[in-house]
Amino acid sequence: MLCFFKHENVLSALDILQPPHLDFFQEIYVITELLQSDLHKIIVSPQHLSPDHIKVFLYQILRGLKYLHSARILHRDIKPGNLLVNSNCVLKICDFGLARVEEPDQNKHMTQEVVTQYYRAPEILMGARHYTAAVDVWSVGCIFGELLRRRILFQAQSPVQQLELITELLGTPTLEDMRFACEGARSHMLRRAPKPPSLTALYTLSSQATHEAVHLLCQMLVFDPDKRITVVDALAHPYLDEGRLRYHSCMCTCCYTTSGGLRQYTGDFEPATSHPFDDLWERKLTTVQQVKEEMHKFIAEQLNTSRVPLCINPQSAAFKSFARFIEELPVWSFDQSIPHPVHTSLIVRISLPLPSNFLELPLSSIIVENRWERARCRDHQEIVDRRSSILNIDIESVRLVIKAGYL
């Protein structure tokens, strides 16, 4: 998915580090754009959030979700911590660990172990076996309320209590509104005393809870997912007009300013994807080995033309801290003898250049790593056997790895 996404408000992969030989393929390293913070940190901080902040954040969340939903992707874990924000208030949706392609067949069951509880839609709380993109809209509504309130809107200790807090605000749902619920959840709800809706309480969330804000929030927080506002309709709500204007006036990359100072606006402020995401190849994989083989092949076939060079900042605090650690390590030159066998981890600095007889060193365990490959060999014979595939190391790559702290 990260390689498929091409949208300003959705985190995508800039590069994937080339994995080692398939036999040693255990980890994947994905390079993405750096964003300094996330919406959760901003909400809990003492920093003032103006109405403009809230509008531009909400606009970007919905803008990114429109793109995802047009690709038939359900995020299923929209929450402030999964909304990255940079120093210019540009927001990107991240963490697609629970994301999946929307299931058109309503008879097929979908997992209920999704969405962090505070942002979980009523249909999931009540055991619905099938759900739609409306679950993401509910999560956005909870975040919208949290931006206004500066506290979690429905903060419960359990799923049952979560549902109770929701009904205190929305009132007891009708049987029609609960048609998606499992029998047990529906019976539990009907046994309780009916509660009237108290949506006017939303006006007390904040002084910024204007009529337009509450009107949009009420349309997001609807019990029945079929009656809940869609992302497309939410983007058309008047409350977001100012957020759209601010974002496209000075924050986006889809619009630009001419040399004469005129702003040239894109023809499509909220673009959708040209084609849905296809997960058919994933469904064909039945074993871990098949997954490894397909992932290894996919990464190897990625074009290098758009890759961003991997750079190390020697001025960063992390680099300086590691540099001090490295300076305290003993220097190992290849004319020195090494204890054999090595019963504990041996961490040394390597004096360069590497000699031609590197493979003949009597080490019982050795880790060899360059910019793109890593291999752990348990014995000398294995080192020799792997010579052609993992020990083709150039001096500059090794020097870079040592400085970066990967070896």
Residues that are catalytic: 77
Give the distance from CA 115 to its chain's centroid: 13
Q: Is the CB of residue 40 less than 8 Å from the CB of residue 230? A: no
DSSP code for 218: H
- Residues 64, 67, 68, 71, Cα dihedral to 10°: -170
Reduce the DSSP state of residue 46 to 3 states and report it. coil
Reduce the DSSP state of residue 93 to 3 states and report it. strand
Paired residues of 92 in beta bridges: 84
Give the distance from CA 361 to its chain's centroid: 43
Phi, psi of 204 (to 5 degrees): -90, 0
Phi, psi of 38 (to 5 degrees): -145, 170
Tell me the C-alpha distance between 362 and 384, whole Å.
Answer: 12
Inter-CA distances, 402 with 26, 203, 316, Å: 21, 58, 16
Q: Which of 222, 164, 233 is nearest to 195 (CA)?
A: 164
Paired residues of 263 in beta bridges: 257
Q: Is the CB of residue 128 less than 8 Å from the CB of residue 45? A: no
